A and B are shown apart, each in its own frame.
Chain A
Amino acid sequence: MPEAAHERKPDAAEEDLRLIERVLSGDRQAFGALVRSHERRVFRVTLAVLGQVEDAEDAMQETFIKAYRHLSQFRRESRFTTWLTRIAVNEALQKRQARKEHVSLDESPAIQNQDFPRRFEPWAADPEKLYTKQELRDLVEKAICSLSGIYREALILCDVEGMSAKEAADVLEVNLLALKSRLLRARLMMREALCTSLEQRRPFGRKVFDTAADVKSMMGMMLMRVAGR
């Protein structure tokens, strides 16, 4: 299950609460520490919705300003990260509406023909061992950027930020079924895009065979080639 990996350190939420207390009692420096610990998440979320760094930057600034001004309204029933993410998504959605961007709504709840997987090569047992983290990050970012907005935001909120489908549906103000359908399609598209780039970038001679069957059939082909058949 992917959930566990998303969690920040267990004491991170408590540290947030300590910092919030300090900000509310007048310590502005403490807000800087809160920003440092959350800026990446906020940037990623605004970028997911808006798709452009310049707009994401504006929305990120507005998010933190709003969070500072409304910090006293933060209720501890939810985690600070959820509260902040909600503000970030709202800021980004408002900006997107202001851009009067056409958001594609040609979605149907069921998966369509074009969503069916086309690539069936097994992945390496551990693809993360074949690339540096930066290389893999570049591939992932390129693949995420190839998704259109509604898929990109569902994927980032759920699979990078670790929100549940319900939380993501809530902050994006779409119904749960629509969110789940977007997430499924986003995952299928993302897998397909990564299949292509992992295959293209796979270092020569380091191709890893996942199943004995693949090795066996490849050995068979090589032997036939050697035998000149």
Chain B
Amino acid sequence: MRMLSCEEVLANLSNYFDDECSAELRAQLEDHISKCRRCRVVFDSTGKMLKILVDVEPFEVPLAVSARLYSRLQEVLSEE
């Protein structure tokens, strides 16, 4: 199996996490990651980052913004 370069591994980071790579490419990526500390850190932290992005549910609607939305909708809906 040909060893991928770090650049090739990085270029395929999204394909790896979005499950858009062939079994062969996945095996090559995992082989590289197991041998290259830097790429291992990048992949590991990217995976953690993607989980955090979902878990923290960023950007709540501010209460005032929400209140104005409901009052505007009430106006519009009662006119229709």
Contacts and interface: CB of A to CB of B under 8 A. Distances in A.
A88 interface: no
Report whether over half of chain A's contact residues are helix, strand or loop; otherwise say mixed.
helix
Contacts of B60: 40
Contacts, number: 134
Q: How large is the interface on A (under 10, 10 to 19, 20 to 34, 35 or more residues)?
A: 35 or more
A194 B49 contact: yes
A133 interface: yes
Given A61-B69, A117-B38, 20 more contacts: A2-B53, A3-B19, A5-B54, A32-B70, A35-B73, A43-B61, A47-B59, A57-B68, A68-B80, A111-B10, A120-B37, A137-B57, A137-B58, A159-B53, A187-B46, A188-B13, A188-B46, A190-B49, A191-B45, A191-B46
Interface string B45-80: 110111111111111111001101110110011001
B11 A39 contact: no
B61 to A, nearest CB: 5
Q: How large is the interface on B (under 10, 10 to 19, 20 to 34, 35 or more residues)?
A: 35 or more
B54 A2 contact: yes
Nearest to B62: A53
Nearest to A137: B56
Interface of B: 7, 10-11, 13-14, 17-19, 37-38, 41-42, 44-46, 48-62, 65-66, 68-70, 72-73, 76-77, 80
Given A5-B51, A128-B52, A144 B45 contact: no
A184 B14 contact: yes
Nearest to B47: A2
B53 A160 contact: yes
A35 B66 CA distance: 10
Given A44-B58, A47-B59, A127 B52 contact: yes
A18 interface: no
Interface string A155-184: 100011010110000000000000010011
A147 interface: no
Contact of B48 (A111, A123, A144, A162): A123
A1 B73 contact: no
B64 to A, nearest CB: 9
A74 interface: no
Given A116-B10, A187-B13, A68 B73 contact: yes
20 contacts: A2-B53, A2-B54, A40-B61, A43-B65, A44-B58, A60-B69, A61-B69, A110-B11, A117-B10, A120-B37, A126-B48, A137-B56, A141-B58, A160-B58, A164-B18, A184-B13, A187-B13, A187-B50, A191-B46, A194-B45
